[in-house]
Amino acid sequence: MANKSGKAYALTTLCPISIGNIIDKDGIERESYDKAVRRLLQDIPLNEKSFFAQVDNTYFARLFILNDVFFQQGDEFEQDHLKSKYLCFNTNFHGDLEPYLINMWDKCEDEIRTVWQYCVGFKLVNSALEFVHYIKECQLKTTLFFNGSNDESLTKQLKALYVKQMFSEFVLTQQGKSASETKVNFKYFLQRVQLNNLESPSWKPGQSELTP
């Protein structure tokens, strides 16, 4: 089914960026709106420091600007072009769309207002429900998810990533040791990773590498 795969949801939106330039307090035209949006996107921290790490159950999130459509057939074919540049927002997450967007607004309202401020119609967005409506108006059907992971909660997936990385390290440290040593060490390994405790120890949302 489009947009959903089990309990996972894939959201793709194209939000048109206003055409024109920012006017400073002296009435002088400065950078174009799309350049301003691009600069704002470049300033967003990555991984654990990204504001998306605060949004519950986010598997993946990406923001970028679509300048135009591109053709490879050559100039002999008639080509269609976009009338606007678009802010593209893609995210895959666990759960349903409306609760996810409401949670995103509640936790990241300032960041949302900053990123979307130059998009057409966004000035009318002043609440979580209005943000949900705005995103739905810009939504496209999505059938391709970002990877082949399952649809379990983010907490479970982060724990699985943590255990996978820790087990890989464990295997490397056991090279050349006897079976009895490895058996004893494996018991300590299980105590350390606490398989039945999903909260801790585990990876943090947005984490990109294993930390000691």
Are 16 and 82 in contact by the 8 Å Cβ rule? The answer is: no
Which pTM value belongs to this model? 0.86
Give residue limits of the domains in the chain.
4-140, 152-212
Output the tens digit of pLDDT for each of the chain's 212 residues.
Answer: 689 988 999 999 999 999 999 888 877 778 999 999 999 999 999 999 999 999 999 999 999 999 877 666 666 667 677 788 999 999 999 999 999 999 999 999 999 999 999 999 999 999 999 999 999 999 999 888 876 678 999 999 999 989 999 999 999 999 999 999 999 999 999 999 999 999 999 989 988 776 65
Residues 182-201 pLDDT 10s: 999 999 999 999 999 999 99
DSSP 18-86: PSSEEE-TTS-EEEEHHHHHHHHHHTS--GGGSGGGGSTTEEEEEEEEE------S-TTS-----SS-E
What is the pLDDT at residue 68?
Answer: 75
**C-alpha separations of 80 from 13, 68, 85, 126 in Å:** 20, 9, 14, 35
Give the single-character DSSP code of 67.
Answer: -
Measured in Å, how far apart are the chain's first and last C-alpha atoms? Answer: 41
The H or E element that residue 94 is part of is strand 86-94
Buried b (16+ CB within 10 A) or exposed e, 33-70: bbbbbbebeeeeeeeeebbbbebbbbbebebeebeeee
Both tokens assigned to 92: 């895959």
What is the pLDDT at residue 77?
Answer: 66
